[in-house]
Amino acid sequence: MPHQPTELYRDKNHACLMFSDLIEEDGQAVQANQFLIVDDDTGAIIDPGGNLAFNELFMGMSKHFTPQKLSYLIASHADPDIIASLDRWLTSTKATLVISRIWERFAPHFTKLGKTENRVIGVPDAGGHLPLGRHELVLLPAHFMHSEGNFHFYDPVSRILFTGDLGVSMTSGAEARVPVTDLAPHIARMEGFHRRYMVSNKILRLWTRMVRQLDVAMIVPQHGAPIMGKQAINDFYNWLDGLMCGIDLFDDRAYQIPTTQIDPITRQVRPQLQAVGA
């Protein structure tokens, strides 16, 4: 059975909850976090997830906020583990989808015809401030980290920065509930993912220069554990500043006519067959 959500922040008017273990960990799907933010009588789900998470998330959030009063479904980008459940959320609630305008006309492919009409806010590349109850969320540009239309979400009340696929670590749902306060031993769980999924060191450095201006108490990615505390967060920024990734690591060796054979029965790859004596 799923655990209760992790309470990232709460005061008498404002709460941030993280659901980290709604997907069965059988190796077929990556662990993913979903987030509920409530300010007075206004609620938003950040990165609601795919169909694997929908039932548990809908029932789980119902204990803390009435789904029918949900105002926003906020998506960092348009990957399946972010919004594949969109059709079910639009059917079950009156919420509006908030997503990069780059993905505004792609999101309807997740739904039945006409379901998204007048229910999508396309966010311009520069981001913006989205009203949430008596406060707001800051939609920060995070393009090419890893998606070409990508945003992170800063909550000034809790001082939490929700970072989608940046800061991701490979953990179980239970491990994701425990914030990281010492970055060094955690890097091994982040490094492989970031080297492949982040597009370039240039983008990472532009991002850190922007977010160092914010007062951040916790960085919370969409997979894995939060990073908490000034020292760990600053160490994370410094690590990103020096990380070679994405196109930094590619050259002509990555773009060759393939020779690998894919076996459709075993779903394994094997070297190309060669003539006897070759």
Rounded distance between C-alpha atoms, residue 240 and residue 252, angstroms = 25
Please, are residues 190 and 134 in contact by the beta-carbon 8 Å criterion? no
Q: At what angle do helices 230-241 and 201-211 cross, to 10 degrees?
A: 150
Residue 278: its pLDDT value, please? 45
Rounded to the nearest integer, the mean pLDDT of the chain is 90
Given a cut of 50, whether residue 232 has pLDDT beyond it is: yes
pLDDT, one tens digit per residue, over 22-44 is 665 555 567 889 999 999 999 99
Please, are residues 219 and 240 in contact by the beta-carbon 8 Å criterion? no
pTM: predicted TM-score of the whole model, two decimal places: 0.91
pLDDT, one tens digit per residue, over 238-260 is 999 999 999 999 999 989 998 88
pLDDT, one tens digit per residue, over 144-200 is 999 999 999 999 999 999 999 999 998 877 888 889 999 999 999 999 999 999 999
Please, are residues 224 and 171 in contact by the beta-carbon 8 Å criterion? yes
CA dihedral 25, 7, 177, 2 (to 10 degrees): -20
Residue 133: its pLDDT value, please? 95
Percent pLDDT > 90 in the chain is 68
Average pLDDT over residues 2-22: 87
